[in-house]
Amino acid sequence: MTTVLPTGTAPGAPETDAPVDTLFIAVAQLNPIVGDVAGNLDLARRTCASAKDAGADLVVFPELFIAGYPPEDLVLKPAFQQACRAAIETLAAETADGPALLIGAPWVDEGRLYNSVLLLENGGISAIRHKVDLPNYGVFDEKRVFAPGPLPGPIPFKGVRLGVPVCEDIWGADVVECLAETGAELLIVPNGSPYRQNVYAERENVVVARVVESHLPLLYVNQVGGQDELVFDGASFALNPDRFLALQFPGFMERVRISKWQRFENGWKCLGANLADRIDGDEADYAACVLGLRDYVNKNRFPGVVLGLSGGIDSAICAAMAVDALGPERVHCIMLPYRYTSGDSLTDAAAVAQALGVRYDIVPIAAGVEGMEAALAPLFAGTKRDVTEENLQSRVRGALLMSVSNKFGAMVVTTGNKSEMSTGYATLYGDMNGGYNPIKDLYKTQVTRLSRLRNRWKPADALGPDGVVIPDSLIDKPPTAELRDNQKDEDSLPPYAVLDAILERLVEREHSVAQIITDGFDAATVTRVERLLNIAEYKRRQAAPGVKVTGRNFGRDRRYPITNRFREG
């Protein structure tokens, strides 16, 4: 077992290192897998070997890298804690010939579990720092599992005093202030910061504030990859004390780069302007959905995906995302027509499948629907046809897709958007069937916008074809579930432009009904939408997980009771 040494020393190392004027720091923007301790250890080893060949003095990994982030309640399991500790000790023993590592792991000290960062060098563990500010809002609940660490001092490394606040520690001023006051010369911040709309501006504002207050340069190292509903975008960067952006990694891609740091009379700076293009806005939303789907499928070892291609825009963009994520050979699209399926839908679905190059089958559902109706006829005698019979179509489709999944192992992609999830405009055990939903956190108006975007652009690592993959005729036609003759979504819901504007205020902003009416929306419409949102909670609890894109998704961000009689007005 590797000995945990006092801060600043390591086996065979002098108590203090001679100061250096240049540091080569490898930034490891990588994609760990939660719970795969052996795999994450191997990834760290391979990264260190490459960084050593490139002349790195230090390799910096994201937050809780050995465990994967967020580990949730898995981190409370003693066997998992022990496995993480053993991996760190193994890795530490391999650093005798360099480079040194700053790496995150859960760490137990005197019976308390911490979210920690460890400096591994010269064959041992030379310093440990614990995360101080544990986030407990939105998607985060670290106070549930970790103890807060004490305010930290700098870590001596090669005569340089490194300040190592962890992720949330820089969102307030106290930790960085303590580090600056105790002599830190350079801030290195390991992060597990998930993507959401407008997150880049928020991060930059926080980092600028800490740099201005401390007069220190800051290296922000973020992980990349999908973990259930969260997508980590990477986009690591470095800011010098003059707020000059000296390093920028791309978003949504693994990268390891060596950054050069130089000591000047007035402190340390990152040299050069190694700036990758960083996508934002709709492009970032689309890339997040693709990465989230790719990692969910691959990390859970599915051979591919299957989805119902209806000729509508939601299933079309999900098919495009699936092909961009996995390649056409791993995507199987099935059209499941009934007598209400229009000729336009058949044409549009076939066009999408052809453009994407996927396997495409047509499986009529009439026999299944009519068989269920016949079985139910004695029970339904004397009643009128209503939404019950309409939902049988959706449920037959869901059962058929799940059967294909069971037979061949491919995961069913479910295709409901956030507007539908908000209002309950979806059928349990029907179109809600599936393992994962890449557009669960995209409103219908966003789906339309991203569909037009995909026809002119795709992520750099997308595996799908260039050019138009979703016909304009499909994007432009009025949305319909096609469960009865001449059905349109607006028969049951307000126009999506109105609906989404109301929902965004109710869900993301928590505005009251009165506030929204004051904004100019029709009172009856707002009241009805608020009611639909509340009564659909039981459906959302049974929905597949999906990529978080907006500021507040259904699930980790918004946990409302199912049994709930509160209504406004």
Is 202 labelled a binding residue?
A: no
CB atoms within 10 A of CB 551: 17
Is 315 labelled a binding residue?
A: yes
Would residue 370 show up in a list of annotated catalytic residues for this protein?
Answer: no
Is 453 labelled a binding residue?
A: no
Would residue 389 show up in a list of annotated catalytic residues for this protein?
Answer: no
What type of residue is 40?
N
Is 36 labelled a binding residue?
A: no
Residue 437: half-sphere exposure toward Cβ, Cα within 13 Å: 29
**C-alpha span between 237 and 350 (Å, rounded):** 43
3-state SS record for 361-379:
EECCCHHHHHHHHHHHHHH
**C-alpha span between 176 and 219 (Å, rounded):** 13
Q: Are the C-beta atoms of 321 and 289 separated by less than 8 Å?
A: yes
Alpha-carbon distances of 400 from 118, 289, 363, 544, rounded to whole Å: 51, 25, 9, 17
Percentage helix, strand, coil for the chain under 3-state DSSP, each rounded to 5:
40, 20, 40
Query: Which is nearest to 56 in space by CA: 23, 88, 89?
Result: 23
Is 391 labelled a binding residue?
A: yes
3-class DSSP state of 504: helix
3-class DSSP state of 21: coil
Contacts of 418 (CB under 8 A, 6+ apart): 439, 440, 441, 442, 443, 444, 446, 503, 550, 554
CB atoms within 10 A of CB 478: 9
3-state SS record for 38-75:
HHHHHHHHHHHHHHHHCCCCEEECCCCCCCCCCCHHHH
Would residue 48 show up in a list of annotated catalytic residues for this protein?
Answer: no
Q: Are the C-beta atoms of 125 and 118 separated by less than 8 Å?
A: yes
Is 186 labelled a binding residue?
A: no
Alpha-carbon distances of 378 from 63, 141, 367, 390, 395, rounded to whole Å: 60, 51, 18, 18, 20
Residue pointed to by tokens 């052996």: 38
Is 309 labelled a binding residue?
A: yes
> Which residue is catalytic, options 63, 229, 283, 482?
63
Strands 305-308 and 331-335: parallel
Is 310 labelled a binding residue?
A: yes
Query: Which is nearest to 305 in space by CA: 281, 267, 332?
Result: 332
> Which residue is catalytic, options 131, 269, 418, 440?
131
Q: Are the C-beta atoms of 552 and 199 separated by less than 8 Å?
A: no
> Which residue is catalytic, options 48, 84, 167, 289?
167
Is 451 labelled a binding residue?
A: no
**C-alpha span between 366 and 267 (Å, rounded):** 74
Is 163 labelled a binding residue?
A: no
Residue 384 has which token pair?
Answer: 């009128």
Is 101 labelled a binding residue?
A: no
Is 73 labelled a binding residue?
A: no
Within 215-254, where are the H helices?
none
Annotated binding site for L-glutamine: 137, 193
Annotated binding site: 137, 193, 308-315, 391, 415, 420, 539
- Residues acting as catalytic residues: 63, 131, 167
Annotated binding site for deamido-NAD(+): 391, 420, 539
